Each structure stands twice: as C-alpha cells, then as structure tokens.
Structure 1
Amino acid sequence: MTLPCPPLNPYVPPALGHLPEWGAAPLALLDAGAGAARAAGLDLFTLQLGRPAVVGFSPEWNRAVLTGPATFRSRGSFSSLVPYLNGGVIVTDAPEHADRRSKLNPGFSRAALAGMTDALRRRLSPFPAGPTDALAWADTTVRQLLNTAYFAGEFDDALLARFLAPLRRPFPAPLLPRPATLAAVRRELLRLGRARATRSRPDLLTALVQQPGWMEDTRVSLAAAHDTTTHALAYAVWALAQRPDLQTPEQHPAVIKEVLRLYPPGWMGSRRLGCDLNWHGHTLPAGTLALYSTYLTHRDPALWEDPDTFRPQRWAQKPPAWAYLPFGGGERTCLGMHLANLLLGETLAALPPLRALAGNAAPLPGLTLGPEGPLWVERA
C-alpha cells in the first residue's frame, strides 16, 4: 500500500505538484493530507513539493524525528532555505550539535534569565490608550524586550526593526538575501561584542560572545525568537481581551499554553532523511524531506478533546507525551523556550483589563504561524 497523498489541483501543471497550494493555502493542504492518512489508519502522507516529501503528525512520528539525529538531519531541510535561520546551532547536525548546544544552554537557562527580569519590567511601556492593534503592538513590544534581553537595550533600534521586518512578510520575503542589512547587523554585533570584552552586561550577548560562532548564533536565535514570540503574544492579548475572566497571573500560564497549542508559531518542522527508513512497512528513501506538523498534532481529535476550541482549563491535566511541541522536543528543544515564556509572562502580567473590538484572528502561515490581523483591542 502506498502512502496517502492529497489530490492535485487539476488546473495546475502536474510538474508543479502541490507547490501552488503549499504557497497559497498550506493549512488546508495539511488538513486534507491528514484526513486521507487517518482514513487509511496511518500517521503519514506524502506531498509533491519538487522533491520527495512526507508529513507526519503522530506523537510516535514526532518523537522519531526529534530524537533520531543520525536518521533525521537538519542540513538540507527548510531552515537551510531561509537566510535568517541557515546557520548556527539550528542547522548543526550530530555529533557536533550536542557539544555546541551544551555551551549555549547555560546562558538561556531559566536561572540565568531570571537575573534580567527587572530590566525587562522596566522596559515595558504602559499599554496605549485608545484602540490598538494587538499584532502591531506585540511586534514593537517584543522587539524592544529582545533588545533588552540580548543587548541590554544597546542595539540600534532602527537597524533591529529593519533586520526583523521581513520575517513577518509573506513568502518569498523571508527567503530573499539582504546583504546590506546583514552586513550592518554584523557590524553592530561586532561593536557590541567588543564592548562586552571589556565590561560585561546583564544580557545574553555577554554569555554568547564567549562561544565559538557567537555572531551567527546570536543573529539566528534573535531572528527565531522575534516572530514566534510576537505572534504568541498577539494571540494571547486577543484571547484575554475576549475573556477578561482569564486576566490573572495565576491563569496566564494556561492561556499561553493553549495559545501555543492552537496557534503554534512553528507550525511545521523539517528534517532530511540521512538514510533509508522503514516506517510501519513503508520505505522512505534517504534524502526525503521529513516534515512534522505541530499544527496537525495540536489539533488531532485523537489526542485532544474538542481540539479546535480555546479551552485553557484543559491544562489541568498533562497532555500525552510528544503531543504538545510548541518548542520542539528532545535535544533540539528550542534554545529560547525559557526566554519566550519569560517575555510572555511578564508582558501579560503588566496588561490592564482589555476588551476586544474587532479583528481577524485567522491563522496565517508564513515562516511562522500568526494571526492575519489586525486585532483591535482597547482598555476596558
């Protein structure tokens, strides 16, 4: 039996396969593929994306992809196509990955980040008076907080905004090289790195400059942190504006978890098979693009009751293992997981009571998954 495959658009040249749908409506394409796979009693389906590709969504598949570094390789995956992410620890494969990651972990630990909490709180501006687009506000707020966390607020803000802006634009904007901007970012990083050689700061750059390849890891991890945290914050603000009963610090952790379940910024992860793999009787050849979809897993009715409904109360119980992966898993768990949770928690705690006015919260997949927007809210 061959693996299921979503039907091809009859009005598209066959040589293009699923590429037009992948570019225009990838979530619908994923839902169609998952539906075909479930109907066949499988957890895997194929896509025609110009090269052999399979998509899995079960906890078993997630675990295999994220804990099998010898089989599932990062080099040659989707990340390699994006200049912002094609470098650093993100695309370092085994056996070098474990050593490089172990050197970076201490600076991004919960204990290390706790020391910058007061600085982040001081950097938070009062929520604006009058109608405010939560998506645009989150974009600016997260950029300023990341500037504080990474650089003690010393990175040129206009340059930082220019560097990060393409990440939130539709494809192909995130894929395009921007040599002038990247050169300016390297110069700014070098300036700030040299300053920390003579005097440390309470920031991440002080820890990063002590490691080989620090400039690349700083640039890549900063880019990976911005869009993901921005979209999660925008969705959380929108949720609280609709549910003022949830606007208490005690309930914020469940709100954040539920936002990241319904709208995982990293809606799709990718690896490349480094060798042939037999998956429940199906042979997947080396070189195949192996995708895992947190979006599908997080909305799988076999794993979640009423999966498309926002229900923070579901977090009174732990989810099944490998069914909740907003930060990935295994040794490649997102380096910035504790930083993202810190930024989200502190920002939500500082919010006044809000009410929702009007907005479009439909998930819009790009490099990350975020609301189509705008999301208009105001002080209650």
Structure 2
Amino acid sequence: MLKDTRTFDKGGPLFDRLRTLMGNGVVTCPHQDHRRQRRLLQPAFRPSRLAERADLLGEEAEAVCREWEAGRQVDISAAMMALTTRVISRVLFSDSLDTGTAAEVRQCLAAIVHGLFVRTVVPIDALFRVPTPANRRYRRAVERTHAIIDAAIAERRRGDPRDDLLGTLLQATHGDGAEPAVTAQEVHDQLVSLLLAGTESTALCLASAFSLLAQNPEAERRLHAEVDAVLPGGRRPGPDDLPRLVHTRAVVTETLRHSPPGWLFTRVTTRETEFAGCRLPRGATVLYSPYLLHHDPAWFPDPGRFLPDRWLPGPGAAGAHGALIPFATGSRTCIGEAFAMAEATVALATVAGRWRLRHVPGPVEPPRPGATLGPRSLVMICESRARVPVGTALHTGSRAPGATQASRVQASRMSGDSGVDDA
C-alpha cells in the first residue's frame, strides 16, 4: 500500500485536517505534486548538509540541559519540545526567530497538536465552530503560527540571502527555466509543514527514550558506557562521532519501534482496487498503524520489551528493518528521516553524557494517544553523572528532590490533553 502511492494516496480524515492547517506542503500534498516538491526540498536534507549541522544539533542539545540541577525535577516533555523547536527553527530560518518567538512557536504547536486529534476523530465541523475556550485557543495558535511564518518570510525578502531552507525556497520563486517558479503560497505551506512535522515527533521520541531507559537499567548502562567511551569528558558529538554511537542509535530505533510518535495514519484509494483480499472502491479510506505492526510478534519477538540490541549490526536487525515504518516507506518516506535520526542520536548522547534521568516515585503513566503518541507531561528527576564537561555547572539547590516546577508541568499537561470534553 505505502509503495503504491498512485493507488493509495495520502488522504482521509487526518490528512484532510492537516491540509487545512498546513496547506499543500510536502507532508500533505497529493501524489501528482509530491515529486516536484520533494525534489525542491531534498538538497536541504542531503547527508553533506547533515554533517554540517552536527555542531548545531549538539549546541542546542547542550543548551537545553545546561541549567538543570541535580536532585531537581524537570519537565522532560517541555525540554525536548524546546530543543526540537529551536533546531528546526534554525534549519528553516537560521536565526530569524529570536528566543521569545521560538518559545511562542512552541506554545502554539502544543495547542495545535492538542486540538488536531479531536478534530480528526470527531467528524462534526460545527462542533469546532462553537467559541469554546479550547476552540479559541486552537484558532489563535493556528493564526499566530501562520503569522510568524509570514513575518519571517517578509523579513528575509527585505534582507540578505541566507543558506537555509527559507533561502532555498525564496530562490526557487524566481524559477530556473526547467521548473515553474515556486509561488509565495508554496513557500509558506512548505515552511508550516516542515515546522510542524519536524518538532513534536522528535520531541516525543526523545521523551519516550528517556522514560524507557529509566525503566530498563541495562540498556541505560550500555548507553552511558558507549557515550563515555566515544565522547570522553562529555564533549559534544561531531559528524565523525555519529557512526560510532551504535548503541545510542539503537536506543533511538527501538524507541521508534516500541513507541512510534506517528502511530496511526490513513490512505485513500484513487481507483477501484484489490487489497489484502478485499475489493475496495475508489475513495475508500484505508487505516494503518505502525504501532500495531511494530508490536507484531511475528516480526518482533517479545514486542512489549524494550530491547535496543534488536538493532545492533547483524542479520536479525536487517530483517526486522523491513517491518519498521516510523517514517513510512516508499516514495512518501519522511524527507527528514536521516535528519531526525541524527538529531535524536546527538540529543540522547549529549544529555546522557551529563545526566541520568529517573522517574518520580509512583507508577509510570503510559503515553496517551492523540494525533501523535508519546509522553506529553513527563517529569523526571536529574542525577548528575561522573563525567561532566569542563565549564558545565552542576547546581545543587536547597529545594527538596520531590519539589516540582508546578506551572511548567501543569502547562504541559494541559497541552497534552486530547479529551473531547475539552474540544
């Protein structure tokens, strides 16, 4: 199904809502538009650009945990969202978004994701036109996100060209003779699409990874041993270090198998066809779940266990990769797959080189499914590790280990709620 995009095109309730939000960008566009759009964006995600951005990834990962204090509780969900928002903002806009605007984008994205799932599963548009507080929050977040994008585009048009994705898109508006010029609306839609797609999924993956590591001490021990060996003294990972962080990458891959942020998707048939022994008419919606496939014991023995060793080099890992689809597959594979894997690997190694994260006492709340899957209010306790980079301050405050940063945690809990009663 995923490899036959002419017959099974992107569509269904989720993508109908996403098109309203994102426009006709690379994430949501129909089959006939996809090849041109992907060719336009592909240079920004080539391996050579990935190597150039390794320092950027490490810098942002180091910054997000620099002010943590031993014994304190940290909202890991919010911290990872802050990290991925800053990273994708720099990839798209360089430094066009200041710290305050980036924080505003993060708040808007949380409100959008909060409202998106409800709008997908409840097919009653009139319900969302009622001026309830939640509906107003969602509309304001959408409007503000689009306004921030438009302001960044306008500022760049007045300034000097920059070597970022916005610069690539603006250059394409002039056309090159071989392809028609990109329109101003297309520039806007691509930026909105990549901003939304490149932020929450990676943040949820990282939050899930830290939660799963805290529940699996042997996997955590092996991660720390590798990080200490590859990055002595807690230095930042560079492009040459990524191939050596084998177990770290396996932790990321196993997290995407165990708790894939994109857990439920749809496709729509463009013609009458036969699929899995069923005759489907044109316009039929097909629902599929990476989560269910990733927990099929036929492909992944003992699927409920968190086992990063599944992905260490060997014939077993090679076979399992065929059933792993956190980024989809075929021609509509996520354009940012390699970037997202590198970002998560660098962030995990950077944080793990400095901190051990522990769950607060009590049961660990399972992730709540929404438009995406993952912990949206994960609070953990920081423990400093022995190997700390020179110049990184470790604070030991007087607050008791059980104290919480209540306002931040509460805000995160609200942004993660997906209840219909709050629609």
Q: TM-score range by the shorter chain?
A: 0.7 to 0.9
The aligned counterpart of 1:80 is: 16
* TM-score (structure 1 length as normaliser): 0.75
Q: C-alpha root-mean-square deviation of aligned residues, in Å?
A: 2.5
Give how far 1:202 is off: 4.3
With over 3 angstroms needed to count, the CA separation of the structure-2 counterparts of 1:281 and 1:146, relative to structure 1, is closer
The aligned counterpart of 1:371 is: 375
The aligned counterpart of 1:136 is: 78
Say which SS state the counterpart of residue 261 (structure 1) adopts.
helix
Matched, 1:70 2:6: yes
* Equivalent-residue separation in structure 1 for 2:276 and 2:267 (angstroms): 19
The structure whose residues are more often helix, as a share, is 2
Give how far 1:361 is off: 4.8
Give how far 1:139 is off: 1.8
1:228 corresponds, among 201, 207, 210, to: 201
Say which SS state the counterpart of residue 209 (structure 1) adopts.
helix
* Equivalent-residue separation in structure 2 for 1:181 and 1:167 (angstroms): 6
1:354 corresponds, among 353, 356, 361, to: 356
* 1:313-362 C-alpha deviation (Å, 9 max, x unpaired): 01122234641001111111112212212221221121113041336351
With over 3 angstroms needed to count, the CA separation of the structure-2 counterparts of 1:170 and 1:78, relative to structure 1, is closer
Matched, 1:149 2:91: yes
One-letter code of the match for 1:73? D
Say which SS state the counterpart of residue 380 (structure 2) adopts.
strand
One-letter code of the match for 1:151? F
The aligned counterpart of 1:259 is: 255
* Equivalent-residue separation in structure 1 for 2:16 and 2:318 (angstroms): 34
* Equivalent-residue separation in structure 2 for 1:121 and 1:196 (angstroms): 26
1:190 corresponds, among 150, 153, 168, to: 150
Gaps of 5+ in 2: 121-127, 129-134, 173-181, 228-244, 385-423
One-letter code of the match for 1:273? T
* 1:135-167 C-alpha deviation (Å, 9 max, x unpaired): 222122222222222222322224312321224
1:149/1:203 contact within 8 Å kept: yes
Matched, 1:327 2:327: yes
Say which SS state the counterpart of residue 66 (structure 1) adopts.
coil
Say which SS state the counterpart of residue 55 (structure 2) adopts.
helix
The aligned counterpart of 2:110 is: 165
1:66/1:329 contact within 8 Å kept: yes
* Equivalent-residue separation in structure 1 for 2:373 and 2:117 (angstroms): 15
* Equivalent-residue separation in structure 1 for 2:96 and 2:376 (angstroms): 31
* Equivalent-residue separation in structure 2 for 1:172 and 1:333 (angstroms): 22
* 1:11-47 C-alpha deviation (Å, 9 max, x unpaired): xxxxxxxxxxxxxxxxxxxxxxxxxxxxxxxxxxxxx
Aligned residues: 316
Which stretch has the larger CA shift, 104-113 or 299-308? 104-113
Give how far 1:364 is off: 1.4
The aligned counterpart of 1:29 is: none
1:134/1:377 contact within 8 Å kept: no
1:80/1:86 contact within 8 Å kept: no
Say which SS state the counterpart of residue 323 (structure 2) adopts.
coil
1:193/1:206 contact within 8 Å kept: no
* Equivalent-residue separation in structure 2 for 1:357 and 1:322 (angstroms): 33
2:171 corresponds, among 206, 210, 215, to: 210
With over 3 angstroms needed to count, the CA separation of the structure-2 counterparts of 1:281 and 1:218, relative to structure 1, is same
With over 3 angstroms needed to count, the CA separation of the structure-2 counterparts of 1:68 and 1:203, relative to structure 1, is same
Which stretch has the larger CA shift, 316-325 or 246-255? 316-325
1:123/1:148 contact within 8 Å kept: no
Say which SS state the counterpart of residue 297 (structure 2) adopts.
coil
2:308 corresponds, among 305, 312, 315, to: 312
Say which SS state the counterpart of residue 169 (structure 1) adopts.
helix
With over 3 angstroms needed to count, the CA separation of the structure-2 counterparts of 1:267 and 1:172, relative to structure 1, is closer
* Equivalent-residue separation in structure 1 for 2:146 and 2:32 (angstroms): 28
* Equivalent-residue separation in structure 1 for 2:279 and 2:28 (angstroms): 25
The aligned counterpart of 2:271 is: 275
* Equivalent-residue separation in structure 2 for 1:120 and 1:280 (angstroms): 42
Matched, 1:240 2:218: no
Say which SS state the counterpart of residue 198 (structure 2) adopts.
helix
Say which SS state the counterpart of residue 84 (structure 1) adopts.
helix
Q: % of aligned pairs identical?
A: 27
